[in-house]
Amino acid sequence: MKIKVYPSKIKKNAKITLPPSKSIAHRAILCAALANGTSVLSNIELSEDIKATIDAAKQMGAQMTYDNHQLTITGNHGVLPNTPHEIHCNESGSTLRFTIPIFSTLDRNTIFVGKESLFSRPLNVYEELFQTLNLMFVKHENYLSVHGPLTAGNYIIDGKTSSQFVSGLLFALPLLDQDSTLSIIEPIGSYPYILLTIFILKQFGINIEMIDKNKFFIFKNQHYEARYFKVEGDLTQFSYLSLLGILNHPITFVDFPFQSCQGDRIFLDFLHQLGIKTSQKEHELTIYPSAYKGASFDIENCIDTSLALCALGLYSQEPFLLTHVKRLEYKESNRIQSLVEEFEKLNSKIIYENDTLTILPRNPNKIRRTLNSHHDHRIFMILFLLAINENKPIIIDHCECINKSFPSFLNLMKSLEIKFEIIKK
């Protein structure tokens, strides 16, 4: 489907609540699925990615019901059904990378099925690990076959590709019958997400001992504990939605998670670095339209905020520089290529060299009126939020991709009185 986005001003005195954190929800669902007893997870949105993790949790033997954004999960007591499994991951990298080690605790064959775009993303860390352990790991265009059992030991894995490989092992190793260590070779991409995993594990009774920044001790025979858990607002999505306030009209975020463990909390620091006008009271944060100059940002630990920074770069008085961006090539699309192509249509230029993006201020004249999301939810969102600030309507292809992470996005935009229409042909 296509969407036609019209120039719009968001309504006055706009107040919104962030959607629930997808990163936290993935982790909490898996912990609850492995727990002894029944957990209640509140503030859950059924994006396509979260649905994939729910389906994987059911394959683990967990039972669950969903009602009014609340997920009730009766766990499997840390014991997976000892049968072959087929896990449908759709396009969720988190689901795939988190659950490969969990299902590999079984001496059984497990097949992971998904879109080709999912299996074009790197899995080399697990592939090399499984080869070292003499375990089966066979990758195809749209599925992966693995066979355990994963055993306790002293693990050493590369950290530069994705923190999700580390998190996947941290979910599985506490279930094993001997202690393990996990060492990570630097550089480590998105390190705060490893800390987020350790924090969520602790909420569900799992203890990971940090020997140093890059080495962890995992105690044997641990038991996940059921609990009530509320998923806080998503700070990755905040980085995008903040553009409404900076580029359009003041907006207030209510129930804002100021004390969050989410790595993308650093985006607030980026806004302060740029001199963006904000105000804060109790649990509310208001963002105001602001002028700003160029700046440089290291996004190694907050890669998903990069598109929001690129968008800000279009309206800057000076160039923006983003460093450590290479992992953008391995997302739902090659986001570097996607950004270069789509920003060129907006009469802006992005230069990519030496693991760095340079975003040059745009010339608002002679822009093209049809843009392509590249079937990438984050590319779509950034193009939509830029389109409302243009002086003529813009059409964006493949708007349905937003359901991957933020299915309520268009309803939220409608509530803010942003004008758009879906073109189904």
Residues 242 and 248: their CA atoms lie apart, in Å, by 10
Return the sign of the alpha-carbon dihedral for residues 38, 43, 46, 47.
Answer: negative
- C-alpha neighbours within 13 Å on the C-beta side of residue 235: 23
- Cα atoms in the 13 Å half-sphere on the side-chain side of 54: 19
Rounded Cα distance between 281 and 287, Å, is 12
Set 49, 264, 304, 397: catalytic member: 304
Query: Which amino acid, residue 275?
Result: G
Residue 55, φ and ψ in degrees, nearest 5: -60, -40
pTM > 0.85: yes or no: yes
User: How far, CA to CA in Å, does 228 sit from each of 38, 74, 156, 203, 392?
Assistant: 9, 12, 34, 10, 48
Task: Write out the two tokens for 234.
Answer: 């998503």
CA distance 223 to 210: 19
The residue length of the chain stands at 425
Cα 145 from Cα 133, distance rounded (Å) = 15
Q: 């003041």: which residue's tokens?
A: 250
Give the position of tokens 């530069």.
Answer: 160
Cα distance between the two ends of the chain: 7
Closest by Cα among 25, 5, 92 to 382: 5
Beta strands of 163-226 (E only): which ranges?
180-185, 208-212, 215-218, 224-225
**How far is residue 419's CA from residue 5's CA, in Å, rounded to a whole number?**
6
CB 14 within 8 A of CB 39: no
Domains by residue range for the chain, with CATH = 2-18+234-423 (3.65.10.10), 22-230 (3.65.10.10)
Give SS3 for 138. strand
User: Under a CB-based contact definition with an 8 Å cutoff, are residues 108 and 147 in contact?
Assistant: yes
d(Cα 334, Cα 338) in Å, to the nearest integer? 6
Q: What is the DSSP letter of 374?
A: T
Q: Which of 389, 425, 371, 423 is nearest to 4 (CA)?
A: 423
CB 332 within 8 A of CB 404: yes
- The radius of gyration of the chain from alpha carbons, rounded to an integer in Å, stands at 22
* Distance separating alpha carbons of residues 376 and 402, to the nearest angstrom: 8
Q: Distance (Å, rounded) from C-alpha 347 to C-alpha 287?
A: 27
179 given a catalytic annotation: no
**Main-chain dihedrals φ then ψ at residue 131, nearest 5 degrees:** -65, -40
**Nearest C-alpha neighbor of 34 from the set 261, 234, 222:** 222
- Each of the 425 residues of the chain gets a pLDDT tens digit; together they read 999 999 999 999 999 999 999 999 999 999 999 999 999 999 999 999 999 999 999 999 999 999 999 999 999 999 999 999 999 999 999 999 999 999 999 999 999 999 999 999 999 999 999 999 999 999 998 999 999 999 999 999 999 999 999 999 999 999 999 999 999 999 998 999 999 999 999 999 999 999 999 999 999 999 999 999 999 999 999 999 999 999 999 999 999 999 999 999 999 999 999 999 999 998 999 999 999 999 999 999 999 999 999 999 999 989 999 999 999 998 999 999 999 999 999 988 999 999 999 999 887 777 888 999 999 999 999 999 999 999 999 999 999 999 999 999 999 999 999 999 999 86
